[in-house]
Structure 1
Amino acid sequence: MKFHLRTKVRRWFYPLLSLLVMWGVIVGTPQISQAIPLRQLLPGAVQFLQFSSISDKQEIQLGGQINKQLVNGDVRLYRNSELNRYINGIGQRLARKSDRPNLDYTFQVVDDSAINAFATMGGYVYIHTGTIAAADNEAQLASVIAHEIGHIGGRHSIKQMKQALLAQGVTQILGVDSNKAVQIGVELALKRPHSRRDEYDADVRGLKTLKRTGYAPSGMVGFMKKLLNSGGGTPTFLSTHPGTQDRIEALQENISSTEANRGSGLDNAAYKSRIRSFINS
């Protein structure tokens, strides 16, 4: 009787054990869709970005694509190697002391007499020749560059893109065609101002960067005051940056009287002499 019982147990137990082992192998083996990215399975497939969790690498790649569209389209770069080296030198010094020093920053001079500057994601900063000519000294110019670096530090362009995508009915869960993202990024860079909150944030970040780099913090306030008091309408740089007087007051609260002029970049004559060979200021 016991023998027959053991025989019956073996008849169902070993097949069941084999089945369990096979199931464990199947479950434990990585599926193809998990192990290989979809874009590798489909050569030439459009890359989709998840803006709810975009990585630094993706941001840099997207910024590079946006920059390519800009410089091949609406933005005309100023082809003076000496001036570009000068601006890049200022920008790189500031970038090393910024909130995101590990990005590979690119600083470019735009051939445009309008007073303006802007930035896009991934470390790309654009300075108009009009801004360079309008600044009284290097500290003022550095403050503009530091402010734009502040936008990159705060990832403001990414936030704007998320908002633009949501307005178009694209949810963060679905992701977005990278080509569409580039188009939106170009539009944001050229036409859409940052929010008041982002401007304050970029001011604070920029001022901290300016101080850490060794520039006199009064340069930031000085440049804003200069433009507000220049007359002849609101300059382009300020027309896309709301609440300038309030921003000046907020900056002054973060600059003590003892440190305002402490640092480099306040020699007006030296600055004007240097840029005169590049730009007719």
Structure 2
Amino acid sequence: MLNFSSLFYGCRRRWLYGLFSVVIAISIGLTNAQVARAVSWFELLIRGTQILQLATMSNQQEVQLGQQINQQLIDSGQAKLYRDRNINKYINDIGQLLAKHSDRPEIPYTFQVVDDKSINAFATMGGFVYVNTGLILKADNESELASVIGHEIGHIVGRHSIKQMRETAIAQGLLSSAGLDTSQAVQIGVELALTRRNSRQDELEADRFGLENLREAGYAPVGMLGFMQKLLEAGGSTPSFLSTHPATSERIKLLEKKIDATTANSGKGLDPQDYQRKIRQL
């Protein structure tokens, strides 16, 4: 009995040593496989840190991360929400109609109005879109406003924030072979939402998605062209909505090629009086 027990414990000890050696070997291999990293996969596992694989992020994970980014933006005061119920409902109604006709209608969308006089709109992953009061006031009609919201939905459709997050994490040495720490992902997400440094390719793709979305939702496509053209002709400092590469003039030329002049005004949202009535609280 004693010998059997000794043998049993000896085998179990050797088995545990073997397993521990395998885990260490795997962790070392994974660590060495990725040069840019914050901590190793094994360290993150021991600490119980939640890790995201950006390359294979599911819709549910993206929405959850977007919710955390949104909460951080609000709690930090970097996105001060405008609380008028009628204005928020109006923006949400436009946004939900566009989202339903977008190329990615399967995720939930959240549209919020930011109390800021600057002409700006931005989006983050997981269906979160923000529109400044200054931009709402700048638009002449609903089609112009819808074109901006459609453009931001286009960034979500293209999953541009996820791509930018991965590039930023690599550049900052935060991406481990296992993925990215969720808390670090939230901070990067907040930074990306505020700085809005989209690439030429991403902006043009968002324009294309936005224009298609505008048409599918029944809006006159000329609204997108009109809003960009009006801001370009206004002169002075470039609104932050248009402060990204490529140049606004290039985007306008490309949109003009995509919009048929004979059907440019076909659709809803071109009545300026109706629009002013709907945003009169501002």
Partner of 1:17: none
State the partner residue of 1:45: 48
Whether 1:231 and 2:235 are equivalent positions in the alignment is yes
Equivalent position of 2:249 in the other structure? 245
Query: Which residue, out of 85, 102, 109, partners 1:105?
Result: 109
Write out aligned runs for 1:131-280 (5 A). Answer: 131-171=135-175, 173-276=177-280, 278-279=281-282
Partner letter of residue 89 of structure 2?
A: R
Superimposed CA distance per residue, residues 108-137 of structure 1 (whole angstroms, 9 cap, x where no aligned partner): 000000000000000000000000000000
Unaligned residue ranges in structure 1 (runs of 5+): 1-41
Distance 1:204 1:130 in 2: 24
Q: CA deviation at 1:191?
A: 1.4
> Could you tell me how far apart the structure 1 residues matched to 2:274 and 2:67 are?
34
- Compared CA separation, residues 172 and 56, structure 1 to 2 (3 A): farther
CA 1:52–1:210 in 2, change beyond 3 Å: closer, same or farther?
A: same
SS in 1 for 2:234: coil
Alignment equivalent of 1:54, drawn from 54, 57, 66: 57
Does 2:95 align with 1:91? yes
One-letter amino acid matched to 1:65: Q
Q: Is the 8 A contact 1:121 1:155 kept in 2?
A: yes
Give the Cα–Cα distance (whole angstroms) in 2 for the partners of residues 149 and 88 of structure 1. 13
Mapped to 2, the partners of 1:184 and 1:128 lie a distance apart of 21
Deviation at 1:43, TM superposition (A): 11
- 1:118-129 correspondence to structure 2 within 5 Å: 118-129=122-133
Contact 1:116 1:130 in 2 (8 A): yes
The alignment yields a C-alpha RMSD, in angstroms, of 1.7
Match of 2:85 in 1: 81
Please tell me whether the aligned partners of residues 162 and 172 of structure 1 are also in contact (alpha carbons under 8 angstroms): no
State the shift of 1:44 in Å: 9.0
Q: Give yes or no for contact 1:52–1:173 (8 Å, CA) kept in 2.
A: no
Percent of aligned pairs sharing the same letter: 58
TM-score by length of 1: 0.82
Q: Secondary structure at the match of 1:202?
A: helix
Distance in 1, Cα, partners of 2:245 & 2:193: 13
Q: 1:72 aligns with which of 75, 80, 84?
A: 75
Count of residue pairs brought into register by the alignment: 238
Provide the C-alpha distance between the structure 2 equivalents of 1:88 and 1:173, rounded to a whole number of angstroms: 39
What residue in structure 2 maps to residue 28 of structure 1? none
* Range moving further from structure 2, 229-238 or 55-64: 229-238
Cα distance 1:58–1:230, how it changes in 2: closer, same or farther (>3 A)? same
Counterpart-to-counterpart distance in 1, 2:212 and 2:245: 19
Question: How far apart are 1:194 and its partner, in Å?
Answer: 0.6
- Runs of 4+ deviating beyond 6 Å: none
Return the alpha-carbon distance in structure 1 between the equivalents of residues 67 and 93 of structure 2.
Answer: 20
Matched, 1:130 2:106: no
Unaligned runs of 5+ in 2: 1-44
* Aligned residues of 1:106 and 1:124 also touching (Cα < 8 A): yes
Q: TM-score, normalised by structure 2?
A: 0.81
C-alpha distance in 2, partners of 1:122/1:43? 29
Question: Does the Cα contact within 8 Å between 2:122 and 2:196 map onto a contact in 1?
Answer: no
